[in-house]
Structure 1
Amino acid sequence: MKRYIFFIMFFLSIFTITGCGVKKSEFQKFIDRIPDIISKDYVLPETFKHEKIIWKLDNQELEDNRLEFIYSDEDLELSLVAIVKNDVAMKTVKIKKTNFVTELNINTTNNLEITSKEDYLRANLKISDAGFFNTEIESARIRGRGNSTWGYEKKPYRIKFDTDTSILGMKPATDYVLLAEHNDKSLMRNYIAHYFSRFLNLPHQLETRYVRLVLNGDYKGLYLLTEQVAVSENRLNIDTSDDIDGGFLLEFEREFDRANAEGKENVDWFRMKNPNPNDRNNNGNTELYQEVYYVVKSPKIKSFDKNIQESKINYYKEYINKFEQSVSSDEYDKYINVDSFIDYFVLTELMKQVDIGYSSVYIVKDKNEKMQMGPIWDFDISSGNGNYYAYGPKGFWSDYNPWFGILIKNNSFKEKYISRFNEIIDLYFSKVLSEIDRVLDYITIDAKRNFKRWDMFMNDGFNPNPIEMLELKTHDKQVEYLKSYLTERKNWILKTLNNEGYIGYLGEEDEGWR
């Protein structure tokens, strides 16, 4: 009997120690008073019994004891650790998700129609279904944007604010873009490219949000709201001083007219001779060098005096020349961030972006740093969408870009590129496919409404959709086309890279989806 009682007492004591009967410390009880769910920025208690509390989130000490309410399209659980003297307490709080698609209402003054890509109209902006991120701004401006995309019925827009402003939790800035995605029936290619960029070594990853746009009371469809590629204190923050060797953001352009439209030569843009990527064998059939143009997006060269203007442009030209010459001597890593270059061209190759050697290619350099590729931009014509280039899943493409064209011929760079391509696919490709499925669940209803609004779902045959896309009459099938394309292209690239190396785009017509 005594033995029986002993075992009962023993197990009761173990339960008391290990189970729900553990006595909480006063400090833990104090921390437990913090709300389980937060719906706005929350200031955590600074002291306990006059002793300072140290707060940690993911092993990082929080500044100002402030728990920032962040944008998330899924519920988030944050595990906090509180430390005071020799006592430690823990608390899990939840941040409730924000709607994946939110409604953006914009009204221009007097409901004036937006007809210009140059002239802004005053407007007010309102988001009312985003909880903590609800916004109403009177001091907005809006105009059209884009090149060929401005000619479509569903038009893209540029939004500008008088001061740095945050929309839907995005980092504050003055400039935003509304991408219409009229060319892309999956409505996902730009989103997926930016999602993929989160995992890559790039100078800045642009934030994106899906919105249903209502302009002057007229529903305009499903849009992708994103940052403008620009230098900004809260986003792509680089040196913009008048130092000759200061930072710069350039955009590569192939066409003279597009560069010339940006302003004055050797102020707003400059020209150079770059290696011709189409000259594979130096056999004399093509010119060794081609004229290309670089638009200076930052700094604003015209704001400096003429001597500084000339010195800065000469510095840019000299730096680019030195980089191009360094490839043959295997010293290119003195001028470029190799990891950035490799990751940028892995992404453009996988998605077979049409413009990689033409336009919308950005290059950034900060003071005392090396040149980097990025941020990425303009992926609507990619991944099997585009009937005016070799759009099929087979065939290399990125060496259409003159810089990558010479780099990939360098053995050391090629080895690093192939190794990193395999690594990126192994680590992240499945995540991309899963993200496509996740986004499809969220946007299906809005996508159907979008196509109903424009009554153009595969019926008008407008450029640039290839025949394979025109044959698919539902949004679900368009998304499946995108997934299948990326999978087949991934398989072809891996097999070819690992067995034959990077054999280059030969300039031959693709047979579409082979």
Structure 2
Amino acid sequence: MLASVHSHQPTDPTTDPQCYSVPILYIKTAVALPTLECVQAPFPAPDCMKATVASTLHVLNKTDWNCLGDLDLAAPGLTPRVRYRGDSSLRFVKHQLLVKFDTPQELLTLPPDTSFALHGPYIDGSLMRNHVAHWLYRNTGRYSPRTQHVAVYIAEGTHKPKYFGLYLLLETIGYGPNRVGLAENKATCAPDDQSGGWGWQFNPLMYGTYSPNIMQDQYQGQFGMGARPILMFPPGDTTSQAMRDAFVGEKGFLPQYYRYLWHNMTSPLGLKQHIDLGSFADYLLHTEWSLNQDAYTRSAYFFKDRHLPVEAGPVWDFNLAFGLGARATTAAWMFTQQPAWMRLLCNFEFAGLVIARWKTLRRGAWSDASVDAFVDAAAAPLLRTLAKCHNWMTDRESCASVSGVNHGSYQDQLGQLKASMAARAAWMDTNVDALYRRLDGSFCGTLPEFNCALDGHDGGCVTNPAAYYAAVNATPAIRQPYAGPPCAPSSSVNPNDAYNVPSIDPCWLSVGSYVTAGYITLTCSGHGLCPPGPNATCQCANQAVTADCSSTVSFASMLPRHATTVMVVATAVIVTGLALFVRRRRPIARYGGARVKLTYGTA
């Protein structure tokens, strides 16, 4: 290929369809990316659509217009591995992409790390929902992935470059110093320092993920998000059995938190020993405002730093938020369908913080004027680019490449987004005070009468809420990325002690949940089950000879040990087969020299 994409003559970038007001990312893959017709290996196996390919990445980012012809492909590029990503979006025409580097790499304005996502808005005609959502959450003072709009071209194998559309480059959720920033957590750390960092999410299990076999009891069943968590940090294969047992056992921080929600609503001051109230308040408010219907149960992230309580976040996945999806115009609180979050609002400290925090944020970065100003500024370069499109929704160069279900102009899509956000915020302005209320003790366990104050019989917040939330510190201390010392080494870790050294746990290593192969189990190589709780082992369902159920007893190996049984079974099979063969032949009766075929039934 030539030093540039093509022989580029100076043109007017306002009319040239290959010029953009956003940076261009040009990806040259070593081989073609997979298609929907890819050959799927027998389950359990990774999705063939997510096969990783080597690539070279070139970035063009000038101060004004970026034109494809200005790319210098002779210059050294970055060398990430890329693959398609997503779940339901994997089948969209506009694919989502994961970009992985072997070492931390800065990408445009995003600080160094190893993993980035290229989100291709397809249902979202505004191209803005994920961009706005992460900006809002960062304005609470908490980490949320940084984002930047780009134009994406991909040249697959020996094919010419193809325009994929306008994308949103964003950080994936990570736990290094430039993202969430958790303390190291290794098998060699002293047990006390293994209290963090931990990171996990709730989502359907996928092939190769690690999922703690958390205790399954009444407490987890009521408040445990209804599913097994997926371990995000530390890497599952770096954990020891001792670390895993501490995570899932009765004394683990999650089981203890769930027990507190069940038993101790009449001891409200203890909640902040289990969770960071501010992070949970911000997460709830952000979820309710965005109408992100999945955020309570899917793509729901949590973490715990060393010696600190559990925090909610970061937030993720807003394809169907802010007026899209089933919750487009909900005039109700979504958390009322989630037992754990309902239970939190029974706590007077949490309820007061949610109300006070909403009012404080709405006076600043979360105000209607602030949101409108951000959307308008972010949309300006996109509008300049889309102005060249006859039909802005198509996948032609300089166009957005979004679904035809979107209607009207791009400005109309922006207007719908801003209107949806303003309407939901106004509803929350009107209804947030009513989160102070008389409690329903029939929900589960013993509850105070009201969630107004430490005295559970104090119902003054119902009639005069301002007097109560005004006394709340609405700007709680926000945890910063861990900057402390490395963990103290454990004096008890013996490299010959299998319990305390890194190991792969088949009870945690998931093979994924597959609709097309429902007989496969979630763990144990897909052929067994593990009881919940500490020190579990696989109970294989396939006569396995390995602890992870991956290897079964072969027919050849059975012969020396079960020769008699095999002979008996084989004889029975032969006899039965001959009997069936005889019965299935049509009977023939002989009368002298004549042959008469008999038929069954009545004449």
Mapped partners of 2:338, 2:113: distance in 1 = 31
Deviation at 1:405, TM superposition (A): 2.0
User: How is 1:169-180 mapped onto 2 (pairs within 5 angstroms)?
Assistant: 169-180=109-120
AA at the equivalent of 2:174:
A
Q: 1:310 aligns with which of 211, 220, 245?
A: 245
Q: Secondary structure at the residue paired with 2:54?
A: strand
Mapped partners of 1:318, 1:259: distance in 2 = 20
Q: 1:196 aligns with which of 116, 123, 136?
A: 136
Q: Looking at both structures, which has the greater relative contact order when contacts are Cα pairs under 8 Å and sequence separation is at least 6?
A: 2
Deviation at 1:438, TM superposition (A): 1.3
The verdict on how the C-alpha distance between 1:436 and 1:460 changes in structure 2, with shifts beyond 3 A counting, is: closer
Q: What does the per-residue CA deviation read over 1:3-30, in whole Å, with 9 as the maximum and x for residues that have no partner? A: xxxxxxxxxxxxxxxxxxxxxxxxxxxx
The verdict on how the C-alpha distance between 1:136 and 1:369 changes in structure 2, with shifts beyond 3 A counting, is: farther
User: How is 1:389-400 mapped onto 2 (pairs within 5 angstroms)?
Assistant: 389-400=326-337
Is residue 231 of structure 1 aligned with residue 171 of structure 2?
no
The verdict on how the C-alpha distance between 1:399 and 1:453 changes in structure 2, with shifts beyond 3 A counting, is: same
AA at the equivalent of 1:486:
M
The verdict on how the C-alpha distance between 1:426 and 1:112 changes in structure 2, with shifts beyond 3 A counting, is: closer
Deviation at 1:305, TM superposition (A): 3.2
Deviation at 1:318, TM superposition (A): 3.1
AA at the equivalent of 1:188:
M
Is residue 247 of structure 1 aligned with residue 197 of structure 2?
yes
Q: 2:341 aligns with which of 388, 404, 418?
A: 404
Aligned position for 2:393: 451
Is residue 103 of structure 1 aligned with residue 24 of structure 2?
yes
Deviation at 1:410, TM superposition (A): 2.2
Aligned length: 379
CA contact (8 A) 2:119 2:168 kept: yes
Aligned position for 1:380: 319
Aligned position for 1:139: 79
CA contact (8 A) 1:213 1:223 kept: yes
Q: Which moved more, 1:104-113 or 1:420-429?
A: 104-113
CA contact (8 A) 1:106 1:125 kept: yes
Aligned position for 1:509: none
Greater fraction strand: 1
Q: What does the per-residue CA deviation read over 1:328-356, in whole Å, with 9 as the maximum and x for residues that have no partner? A: 52121112111111112111111111112
AA at the equivalent of 2:173:
V
Aligned position for 1:356: 295
Q: Which moved more, 1:132-141 or 1:206-215?
A: 132-141
Aligned position for 2:555: none
Q: Which moved more, 1:408-417 or 1:348-357?
A: 408-417
Deviation at 1:453, TM superposition (A): 0.8
Mapped partners of 1:439, 1:131: distance in 2 = 15
Aligned position for 2:92: 152
The verdict on how the C-alpha distance between 1:417 and 1:503 changes in structure 2, with shifts beyond 3 A counting, is: farther
Q: What does the per-residue CA deviation read over 1:123-149, in whole Å, with 9 as the maximum and x for residues that have no partner? A: 000112346999953421100100001
Q: Which moved more, 1:192-201 or 1:215-224?
A: 192-201
Q: Taking structure 1 as the reference length, what is the TM-score of the superposition?
A: 0.67
Aligned position for 2:163: 219
User: How is 1:279-294 mapped onto 2 (pairs within 5 angstroms)?
Assistant: 291-294=226-229
Aligned position for 1:163: 103
Deviation at 1:319, TM superposition (A): 4.1
Mapped partners of 1:288, 1:404: distance in 2 = 8
Deviation at 1:173, TM superposition (A): 0.6
Mapped partners of 1:190, 1:126: distance in 2 = 24
Aligned position for 1:259: 205
Mapped partners of 1:496, 1:166: distance in 2 = 43
The verdict on how the C-alpha distance between 1:458 and 1:195 changes in structure 2, with shifts beyond 3 A counting, is: closer
Deviation at 1:288, TM superposition (A): 8.8
CA contact (8 A) 2:224 2:258 kept: no
AA at the equivalent of 1:218:
K
Aligned position for 2:408: 473
Q: Once the two structures are aligned, what percentage of the paired residues are identical?
A: 20
Mapped partners of 2:97, 2:284: distance in 1 = 28
CA contact (8 A) 2:166 2:401 kept: no
AA at the equivalent of 1:167:
L
CA contact (8 A) 1:108 1:124 kept: yes
AA at the equivalent of 1:175:
S
Gaps of 5+ in 1: 1-98, 278-286, 462-469, 505-514
Aligned position for 2:55: 123
User: How is 1:317-336 mapped onto 2 (pairs within 5 angstroms)?
Assistant: 317-325=254-262, 326-330=264-268, 331-336=270-275
CA contact (8 A) 2:122 2:401 kept: no
The verdict on how the C-alpha distance between 1:503 and 1:434 changes in structure 2, with shifts beyond 3 A counting, is: farther
AA at the equivalent of 1:375:
P
AA at the equivalent of 1:234:
N
Q: Secondary structure at the residue paired with 1:369?
A: coil
Aligned position for 2:277: 338
CA contact (8 A) 2:345 2:435 kept: no
Deviation at 1:110, TM superposition (A): 4.2
Deviation at 1:433, TM superposition (A): 1.6
Mapped partners of 1:369, 1:238: distance in 2 = 11
The verdict on how the C-alpha distance between 1:444 and 1:502 changes in structure 2, with shifts beyond 3 A counting, is: farther
Mapped partners of 2:278, 2:56: distance in 1 = 42
Q: 1:209 aligns with which of 145, 148, 151?
A: 148
Aligned position for 2:597: none
Aligned position for 1:491: 426
Q: Secondary structure at the residue paired with 1:292?
A: coil
